[in-house]
Chain A
Amino acid sequence: MIAPAIPPVIPPAPARLLRHPGPVARERFTVLSDGAARSFRVRLPEGASLVDALVEAEEAGAGSEWRGSAAFAILHGSLAPCVYCLAVRDPSGARLVTYSPMRDAGTVSVQGGAATLGTGLDGKPLAHCHAWFVDPHDGQVAGGHFDTAATRIGPGGLVARMTLLGDLDIRQVPDAETNHAIFSPVGHLGGVQ
């Protein structure tokens, strides 16, 4: 199968490249692969926080206590409450962008999104989640970066496709370039590089 031809597009203005506060890392793509990934359909139950529900799903899929990494494609369901933010310019100048104050959208119907489950700086499970949703009252569409501890699964649950990333070790690491702590593939849990 061959990729279809893409019609040329002339953008109205060139894309901007930003200069982050720290030294530019030599490596521009950090990539690891695994041949033992497994996929599951999961329905996360109402009531749990989003991060706890993702950990529970990972444990159920792996058949063991939480140890590793998973990628979730969020399909549909509800969140209550849905606590999220957007990215805005950092007024302090410590970094280029930071998170806006959190917003509570109440109970929402989720239409799609993605989440990565890995290990945070503190060694505990950490979820990074972006998703989009519809306000059930006015039909308004919104989306953003979720507070996965404050956000909880709503009535009817949340359905996702979960991919267990084999033995890939995804960890939050400090990034000097952006001055953020960022998920990065750091190795394989079995110690194989």
Chain B
Amino acid sequence: MSFLTQFRPQFWKAGESSSGPFRQMFNYRSIWQKAILLVSMATLLPLLIITAVDYNYTEKSIESENILRTLRNGSNIRRTISAFLQERRSALTFIAKDNNPEQLYKAVHLQGVLNNLQESFSGFVDLGVINQEGKQVSYVGPYSLEGKDYSNQEWFREMERQNFAISDVFLGYRNSPHFVVEAKQSLADGSFLVLRSAIDIVELQDLLHGLELSGRADAFLINRQGIIQTPTLYHGDVFARLPYKVPPFSDRTEIREELNQDGEKVFVCSAYIPLSPYILVIVKDKGELMKPWRDTRIGLIWFLVVSVTVILLVVFGFTTYMVNSMYLLDQRRLATLHKMEYSNKLASIGRLAAGVAHEVNNPLAIINEKAGLIKDIFTYSKPLQALGQEGQNLDATITRQLDSILSSVERCGKITKRLLNFARHMDSTIETIDLTAIVREVLSFLHKEAEYRNITVNVDIASDIPPFKSDRGKLQQIFLNIINNAFAAMDKGGRLDIHVKTLGAAGVSATITDNGCGIAEADIGKIFEPFFSTKTKQGGTGLGLSITYGLLLELGGKVNVSSKVGEGTSFIITLPLEPPATTTEK
């Protein structure tokens, strides 16, 4: 907390300490809060909105780019696989049409055809010819399947209705995953024969796995029941079930988003391969696909965080600086107003005093002369001498009364002269100063109060004080204010010490020490601030010391304060031998 208070700007407590007619013009705290809120909003909102829009837009565009690429992949692979199957089918059709049944039934001939076939096309494992009854009439290949009866197998029955067929992948008699391609050839006698060839799925597998796909892609075929037909990378072996829903039929490449077994998002791209039982499936890991986006995103978020921090810091710092400047200006304005009022007041008091003194001085002079004349008459002509002893006594009595009148007049004269002096030094002029006289003069204004309150005043002025130049009127005010404050701090029987000594070329120093109530340590730093007062309730304006401080600055002087609560306070005033040039501009 104390760490924070160090950074608390000066205006923070402004609202609490100001009261009375000289209030602050604004509530600085609320201005500060509003300014920070508004400026932050005005700068941060557009930034946040733009960042959010950009974030979404970038995410969407990267996602759609990935979707498009996957779809393009899917449609390409579909075409490749479709072409592969088409090729195999056309080859068989061509063989069926190019050879008459007699040739085909002969194993030797068939072997020659298979050899040609294998040389021209990859993947053909064997070749068999099945007659209308479903019996494999002839067969060439690695297995001995001749004479095998397919008549009650479903695919054979299907053949009665169509010209071609491609089977699902199965193990069959060969016990190795393969599929078969069949082509029907109608014969002149109305019957038909079927050319049947097994194709190893290795061929398809090579096609599928030879693709360079991004995003942990897995491309494979399934049949329409969702049984996996070709080996996969991440989705189990052949004949396993596809962990996702089988896509509904569509003659276009489709893509959709699904959750995999681990609950991660994946893109499932599917395409029905025409004239086959297969559906091409490409599964891509969305997280993997969006990886470049993640990097961009982290960059974006960092940028946002840094921007927001910098903006907030700038807004905070600048607002604080501005509001504080406003506050300080306002304070200065108030202090100037006060000072003007104060000096106006002093000036009018001065004029009044001078006027009164002048008016009183003339009648006083008359009293002085009249009484003096009466005394002269008694002194020079001695009119009562004739009355003898009684006359002498009367003469002495009258002379005593006259002396009393004259001394009273002298006292009055001193008072009016002091008033005139005070008024005369209202105007700012630099002159050679006799500090002793000033201190005595100031004390003469206060000695009655000192007597009433039984305050002892000790004045100790060193004899070697050099004559120095300063403003007499300002010095009077400075001493008057500080000594007045000291008096206010003391109870009955207090003790005030005024000690003046020379500092050589550095100037003159005056120490004014009282044994009054002292100043709390927390307040010492503030006593010269305008409007700081511990006596606001008793009518203090909190300006006395601030004006004193201002006057001292004008004279090029300094003031130091040391105080202990309950023990007393010391003001140490240092005055230069020559005031700074600016004060003489008047």
Do A and B truly interact?
no
B residues adjacent to A (C-beta < 8 A): none
